[in-house]
Structure 1
Amino acid sequence: ILTGGIDISIGATLSLTGVVCCRLMAENPGVPAVVWVLLALVIGALCGAFNGLLVGYFKMVPMIATLGTMYAFRGFSFLFSGGEWWFPHQFTEGYLKFSTFRILGVPAILWILILVIALAFLFLGFTSRGRRIYAIGTNRDSSKVAGIREERVVFLAMTICGMLAGLSGMLYTANYATCSYSIGDSYEMTAIAICILGGVSISGGKGKVDGVVIGFLMMSVITYFISLLPGLSVWSDAIQGAIIIAAVALNIYMERAAEKRALKERSALI
């Protein structure tokens, strides 16, 4: 989203990665759990890189390109799973430790989340490549004048996006100890809602990691209360859609207000 595009294939990437890891794990129970982590990262990165190739180098519209890959990845997930489900007795002990093992009383999955947040904060805030992502989303023409290769930046951003979606697929199956090709369905909408709630501009170029964390916490609280109130759970998708619309409208209003203030300040100087 920071680059000005939206990847709607992340749920399908999560599904494909989870299915591949679970099937291979069930067939090869002696393989160390770390292998599945690496495999998840590789599969996710390949899916993201393919998206990056379509959007960055072939100049396809991000939403259209990832809509196509979403169906493709979901189809591959179904074919590889054969329509089967995997249950706790088919998971290895090492694989399940990602959800059961605790460090200082905190689940290992939460430590992984904290590590990813820290790395994202450092990458976007303190590296030249992170700043280029912001530059592309803010003004593509200006970034080209500055010598920034747009296709490379978009390719990198989408590869990272896919890699993290792949890691999420592996951790999802380890946490819930179940898997099928249907996991991750509509997760892309949840991710978009979290980002927008966290202050990420839908047009790109604006947004911070700490804001996304706040957006995640807000969405978690909203989802929790929806599950508590009788009759509202069936409306969860509709409520999530309403949240996205409201957040986007607020985002656009705030951006236009900021532009008007900047215009007034420039006029006053003249």
Structure 2
Amino acid sequence: MSLDSKSATPAHPTSGHEKTSVIASLLTLRELPVIVALLVLVAVTAALNPLFLSEQGVKDLLLNATILMILAVGQTLVIITRNIDLSVGSILGLVAFGTGSVFVAAPNLPIVVVLVLGMLFGAALGAVNGLLITFAKVPALVITLGTLYIYRGINNAWAGGTQYFAGDRPRAFGDLSVDTFLGFPLITLIALLVVAIVAVYMLGTRQGRDLYAIGSEPDAARLFGIPVTRRVLLAFVINGLLAGLAGVLYASRFNSVGATTGAGLELDVVAAAVVGGVAIFGGSGSVIGAAIGALLLTTITSALTALRVDKFWQQAIVGVLILAAVAADRIAGVRSARKLRIAEARNV
């Protein structure tokens, strides 16, 4: 036997071990159940209604999920820190109506400028939430429930009975949700870019990893020198910024914006994050999972509509998914705690 063949022989067990390790890692992904549920749902619906996966059908699925994906990404940052933002629907509504107002006042304004203005407006509203929560030391649930109504009231007073329709905006702006690139709608590509950027931020930067530490144990995070107040405030600002972006894209996607735009959307956003594997008690989850959760929820609605199922069942299924996600998170938490106790007992 040659030297080359001898040196090559031991590579097989290592390769097999690596493959097993990769498979085991994939099976433990928090996002795996929601990915499987999404694939099964699409397969079953397509089998019963072949038009569901037509070119236009796929485009509609992506467009329907786009706004919710962006909002779910921002909400994930907040939930990971053991907080929640119930005002995102109202922020979206304010920015969407503001976008319509800007185009009426300055129809030739570049779209990029409008996007930046909307994001800054949303970031300012998110900063108000963050400042009230971090400095007043009042639970986020209470603060954002209050700002939900405040922002909605401002939008009602601002808009009144006024609505801006598709004809009030530049054609190029409306084309963001019509034109495609490699089969993907342009606004969906913007959403995917947001998911990628925030995912890298969460896992590849000190600030992103600090958010997980804060959600896992805030007191311990302070002891380790993590600036908890600044990090939580930043999470709310980014969440508001993304809600602002979603508001501008909403104005492009839908035919009209007015006083009621975005009403009730906050519940869908929280549901998408939780279904996507983000722990409602903070400390774990990913923006990719939240984005997949958003895609699953909107696909459920589209699938049941395609199959002519009553709208009640759409809401009921979403409720079951939320309960299942919370239950799975608690089971995983109990198992982790048990393994930790066993490890500590062995070390004693």
Query: When the two structures are superposed, what TM-score results if normalisation uses the length of structure 1?
Result: 0.94
Contact 2:82-2:280 at 8 Å conserved across structures: yes
Query: Which of 69, 74, 77 is the aligned partner of 2:155?
Result: 77
Contact 2:121-2:244 at 8 Å conserved across structures: yes
Contact 1:20-1:80 at 8 Å conserved across structures: no
Structure 2: which 5+ runs fail to align?
Answer: 1-78
Supply the RMSD in Å over aligned alpha carbons. Answer: 1.7
Structure 1: which 5+ runs fail to align?
Answer: none
TM-superposed deviation, 1:217: 2.7
Q: Partner of 2:61 in structure 1?
A: none
AA in 1 matched with 2:231? V
AA in 2 matched with 1:16? L
Residue 149 (1) aligns with residue 227 (2): yes
Query: Which of 221, 225, 238 is the aligned partner of 2:303?
Result: 225
Q: What SS is found at the alignment partner of 1:183? A: coil
Q: Partner of 1:206 in structure 2?
A: 284
Query: Which of 140, 159, 163 is the aligned partner of 2:237?
Result: 159
Contact 2:274-2:325 at 8 Å conserved across structures: yes
TM-superposed deviation, 1:20: 0.8
TM-superposed deviation, 1:234: 4.1
Q: Partner of 2:59 in structure 1?
A: none
Contact 1:32-1:94 at 8 Å conserved across structures: no
Contact 1:15-1:77 at 8 Å conserved across structures: yes
Residue 179 (1) aligns with residue 251 (2): no
Q: Matched residues in 2 for 1:24 and 1:7: separation?
A: 26
Q: Quick check: 78-87 or 97-106, which moved more?
A: 97-106
Residue 253 (1) aligns with residue 338 (2): no
Q: Partner of 1:94 in structure 2?
A: 172
Which structure's CA Rg is the greater one?
2
Q: Matched residues in 2 for 1:218 and 1:268: separation?
A: 42
Q: What SS is found at the alignment partner of 1:221? A: helix
AA in 1 matched with 2:206? S
> What is the aligned residue count?
270
Q: Quick check: 78-87 or 62-71, which moved more?
A: 78-87
TM-superposed deviation, 1:31: 1.7
TM-superposed deviation, 1:242: 3.6
Query: Which of 203, 211, 215 is the aligned partner of 1:133?
Result: 211
User: In structure 2, do the counterparts of structure 1 residues 211 and 231 end up closer, same or farther at CA, with 3 Å as the change threshold?
Assistant: closer
Q: Quick check: 235-244 or 186-195, which moved more?
A: 235-244
Percent identical: 34
TM-superposed deviation, 1:193: 1.3
User: In structure 2, do the counterparts of structure 1 residues 51 and 76 end up closer, same or farther at CA, with 3 Å as the change threshold?
Assistant: same
Query: When the two structures are superposed, what TM-score results if normalisation uses the length of structure 2?
Result: 0.74
Q: Partner of 1:188 in structure 2?
A: 266
Q: Matched residues in 1 for 2:138 and 2:114: separation?
A: 32
TM-superposed deviation, 1:213: 2.8
- 1:137-170 Cα shifts (integer Å, max 9, x gaps): 0111111001111110110000000110111011
Contact 2:300-2:314 at 8 Å conserved across structures: no
Give every structure 1 segment of 4 or more consecutive aligned residues whose post-TM-superposition deviation is greater than 6 Å: none
Q: Matched residues in 1 for 2:138 and 2:100: separation?
A: 33
Residue 120 (1) aligns with residue 198 (2): yes
TM-superposed deviation, 1:235: 4.7
AA in 1 matched with 2:177? S
Q: Partner of 1:263 in structure 2?
A: 341
